[in-house]
């Protein structure tokens, strides 16, 4: 049954891919492309294995449309459309590059030639490193550069990346292809003067369940059950959930940890450590400053920092929510908790990763940190406060550093943590 499902999913994905190749997408939005391609997969009796990716120009992969995404394809764009079909969790993963700029036709040729040469040799017993060597040689012979840190991968039921990688360059640590496993071969190509490596982008809009652990929040648990029943552990996009939830309701469900934080203090009568990762104000920006629902239309371009107003409104809303949580945690308690509110990076309005300026670096590295240390009258303004020394400051505030150091020196064995 698994074999038949793989074959049928592959036929559907291949047919849709070829239709995508022949279609003129100039003037269409990314949202229109993703929705259309996904509907074509469903029309043929399969489900989408992941949200259709429509990645433009220097964006190598893994960009799918936001709800009502207005990014539009132009007559000079190089568009990578990645699609997958699944039947009962058995996945076919394929892609096509549509080029409207003749200057980059060789990139398309390089990717397709590398794929053809790799597929002609992939069979049981062949080393993955030999496939990587073939892909690398094919691409370099055309004066182009393979992307080293993107690769193909093994497939299993409801698992797209199942643990084994099919490299795009020769590499050590190879394996022999087994006889009964599915693989996706994915050559990635850049220009001859390209570095051959991609870095993580700022936009993250493809999600997947890591587990089915209940949250004790009725609405959030309802959402998790819906995701599991419809997508299992496969990736999904925000727009896929809009038929059941409005954007704001969806975000409220994903923000259930605000209410969970307040409840923690009521559940335990012993010391505890609680960590909560708050996703707001990450994009898409769908909250106004008072929490009102707003359109999540992204500005032209893929940089989320371009929408400064959207970011600032999300920060204002997050601040109100966090203030409410802090007030609830400190309301009528005999033993108030230590509270740390901390960002993982600063703003990026003026930060360009490829050519960072001094001002941009200062913005990015100016990380918000706020401490509430009950019973401590020490002024922390003299401390250098960064995420690196948060716990040093807290421990020094509550414990006598000299006594701690004396006890530490008397310990016979120590564990030293080093960081490369």
Domain map of the chain by residue range?
2-190, 247-409
Supply the pLDDT for residue 407.
53
Contact 77, 54 (CB under 8 A): no
**CB neighbours (10 Å) of residue 384?**
8
Cα distances (angstroms) measured from residue 208 to each of 34, 38, 49, 53, 342: 18, 17, 11, 15, 25
Contact 34, 65 (CB under 8 A): yes
Cα distances (angstroms) measured from residue 346 to each of 281, 361, 366, 367, 370: 12, 9, 5, 5, 14
CA distance 30 to 141: 33
Supply the pLDDT for residue 279.
74
> In the structure encoding, which two tokens stand for residue 157, read together?
């039921």
Contact 293, 248 (CB under 8 A): yes
From the list 386, 312, 380, the residue with the least C-alpha distance to 345 is 386
- Taking the chain (420 residues) in runs of 10, the rounded mean pLDDT of each run is 89 96 94 95 96 94 88 94 96 95 93 96 95 96 94 94 93 90 94 88 83 79 89 92 69 66 66 80 78 58 63 88 87 83 82 76 85 80 74 80 58 41
For residue 284, say if its preceding peptide bond is cis, omega within 30 degrees of 0: yes
Beta bridge pairs of residue 372? 339
Supply the pLDDT for residue 333.
77
Q: What is the fold of 2-190?
A: Creatine Amidinohydrolase (3.90.230)
Using CB atoms within 10 A of its CB, is residue 298 exposed (0-12), middle (13-18) or buried (19+)?
buried
Q: Which element (helix H / strand E) includes 120?
A: helix 105-121
pLDDT digits (tens, 9 = 90+) for 345-397: 888 777 776 677 888 888 888 888 888 888 887 777 666 677 888 888 888 88
pTM: 0.64
Contact 49, 232 (CB under 8 A): no
User: Measured on CA atoms in the order 234, 237, 240, 246, is the torsion positive or negative?
Assistant: positive
Supply the pLDDT for residue 297.
47
Q: How many CA atoms lie within 13 A of 378 on its CB side?
A: 15
Cα distances (angstroms) measured from residue 28 to each of 38, 293, 303, 308, 388: 15, 26, 20, 26, 46
pLDDT digits (tens, 9 = 90+) for 325-345: 888 888 877 888 888 998 888
């Amino acid at each position: 049954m698994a074999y038949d499902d793989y074959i049928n999913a592959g036929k559907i994905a291949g047919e849709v891919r070829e239709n995508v190749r022949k279609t003129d997408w100039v003037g269409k939005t990314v949202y229109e492309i993703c929705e259309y391609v996904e509907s074509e997969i469903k029309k043929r009796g399969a489900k989408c294995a992941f949200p259709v990716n429509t990645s433009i120009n220097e964006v190598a992969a893994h960009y799918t449309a936001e709800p009502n995404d207005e990014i539009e394809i132009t007559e000079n764009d190089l568009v990578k459309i990645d699609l997958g079909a699944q039947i009962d969790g058995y996945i076919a993963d394929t892609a096509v590059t549509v080029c409207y700029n003749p200057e980059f036709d060789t990139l398309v040729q390089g990717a397709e030639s590398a794929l053809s040469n790799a597929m002609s040799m992939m069979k049981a017993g062949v080393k993955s490193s030999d496939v990587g060597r073939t892909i690398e040689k094919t691409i370099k012979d055309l004066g182009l550069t393979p992307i080293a840190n993107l690769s193909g991968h093994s497939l299993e039921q409801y698992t797209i990346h199942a643990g084994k990688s099919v490299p795009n360059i020769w590499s050590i640590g190879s394996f022999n292809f087994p006889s009964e496993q599915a693989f996706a071969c994915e050559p990635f190509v850049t220009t001859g003067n390209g570095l051959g490596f991609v870095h993580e982008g700022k936009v993250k809009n493809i999600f997947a369940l890591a587990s089915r652990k209940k949250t004790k929040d009725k609405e959030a648990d309802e959402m998790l059950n819906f995701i599991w029943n419809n997508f299992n552990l496969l990736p999904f996009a925000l727009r896929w959930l809009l038929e059941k939830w409005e954007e704001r309701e969806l975000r409220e469900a994903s923000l259930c940890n605000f209410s969970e934080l307040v409840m923690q203090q009521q559940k335990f009568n012993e010391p505890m450590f609680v960590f909560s990762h708050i996703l707001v104000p990450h994009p898409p920006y769908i909250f106004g400053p008072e929490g009102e629902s707003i359109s999540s239309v992204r500005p032209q371009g893929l940089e989320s920092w371009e929408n400064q107003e959207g970011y600032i409104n999300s920060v204002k809303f997050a601040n109100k929510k966090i203030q409410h949580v802090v007030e609830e945690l400190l309301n009528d308690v005999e033993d108030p908790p230590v509270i740390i509110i901390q960002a993982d990076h600063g703003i990026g309005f003026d930060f360009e990763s490829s050519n960072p300026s001094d001002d941009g670096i200062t913005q990015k590295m100016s990380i918000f940190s706020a401490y509430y240390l009950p019973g401590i009258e020490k002024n922390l303004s003299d401390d250098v406060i960064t995420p690196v020394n948060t716990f040093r400051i807290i421990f020094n505030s509550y414990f006598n550093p000299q006594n701690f150091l004396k006890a530490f020196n008397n310990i016979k064995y120590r564990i030293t943590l080093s960081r490369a």
